[in-house]
Amino acid sequence: MPDRPRHYTRPLIGSTLVLRVIASALTLTSFGGMTIYASENLHAANAPLQPAAVATATPTPTTAPTTVTVGRTTRRSVTSTSTAPITRTKQS
């Protein structure tokens, strides 16, 4: 009994240039998309990693703008600091 002729299916993409463009597009799309998403969502309250970043400022009895960062969230406000040092913690 003669062998069946093998069915040869032409691949969808023959050009290596097109393949490289697709690979680049997938990578750069994820890079661009993630850049946009990260810049719009800079602060993650429930980030899995939380370095113990503690910065201590010397208390000065002045009315000055302070920056308190919580979970990579920057809140700027004007407060009077005259007692305890400001403790800053951030989340990744």
Partner 1 sequence: MTLSTDLIWIIARSTGTASLVALTLSVLTGIALRTGTLAWLSHNRGVRVVHGFLTVLWIPLGFAHVIALLFDRYAQIGLLDLVVPFGVSYGRLAIGLGTISMQLILVVLISTWLRSSLTNSQWQTFHRLSYVAFFAAFAHGVMSGTDLANPVVAALAWITAAAVALVALRRVARVRIPV
Beta bridge partners of 36: none
> For tokens 């009994």, what's the residue?
1
Q: Does 4 bind partner 1 (CB under 8 A)?
A: no
Task: Provide CB contacts within 8 A for 57, sequence distance 6+.
Answer: 81, 85, 86
Q: How far is the C-alpha of 72 from the C-alpha of 41, rounded, in Å?
A: 10
First CA to last CA distance, the chain: 68
User: What track of x and - describes contact with partner 1 for positions 43 through 72 (by CB under 8 A)?
Assistant: -x-xxxxxxxx-------------x-x--x
Which of 2, 3, 5, 12 binds partner 1 (CB under 8 A)? It is 12
- Window of 28-36, 56-64, 77-85 that interacts with partner 1 by CB under 8 A: 28-36
Q: Which chain residues interact with partner 1 by CB under 8 A?
A: 6, 8-9, 11-16, 19-20, 23-24, 26-28, 30-32, 34-35, 37-39, 41-42, 44, 46-53, 67, 69, 72, 74, 90, 92
